């Protein structure tokens, strides 16, 4: 990832590793790879989103604790 972003943006390694938020770095890497015709999968939504969907789908009800 560092090599790809450094090559495409000329950003220094220190900036990519220590200052650029990981989610943004992954999005930029995805865009850079797609610009060169490389197939890639976009980053997943936040884990909290997945967890909320899973918890909502669980078949239990707190009111039935007899």
pLDDT in tens, 1-26: 899 999 999 999 999 999 999 999 99
Residue 43 belongs to a domain: yes
The yes-or-no verdict on residue 66 having pLDDT over 60 is no
Residue 64 belongs to a domain: no
Residue 44 belongs to a domain: yes
Residue 66 belongs to a domain: no
Torsion, Cα 41 34 36 9, to 10 degrees, reads: -110
Residue 9 belongs to a domain: yes
Instruction: Name the domain count of the chain.
Output: 1
* Residue span of the structural domain in which 29 resides: 2-58
């Amino acid at each position: 990832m560092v090599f790809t972003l450094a090559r495409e943006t000329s950003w220094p390694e220190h900036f990519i590793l220590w200052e650029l938020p990981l989610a943004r770095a992954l999005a930029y890497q995805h865009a850079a790879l797609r610009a060169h015709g490389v197939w890639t999968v976009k980053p997943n939504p936040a884990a909290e989103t997945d967890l909320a969907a899973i918890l909502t789908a669980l078949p239990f009800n707190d009111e039935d604790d007899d």
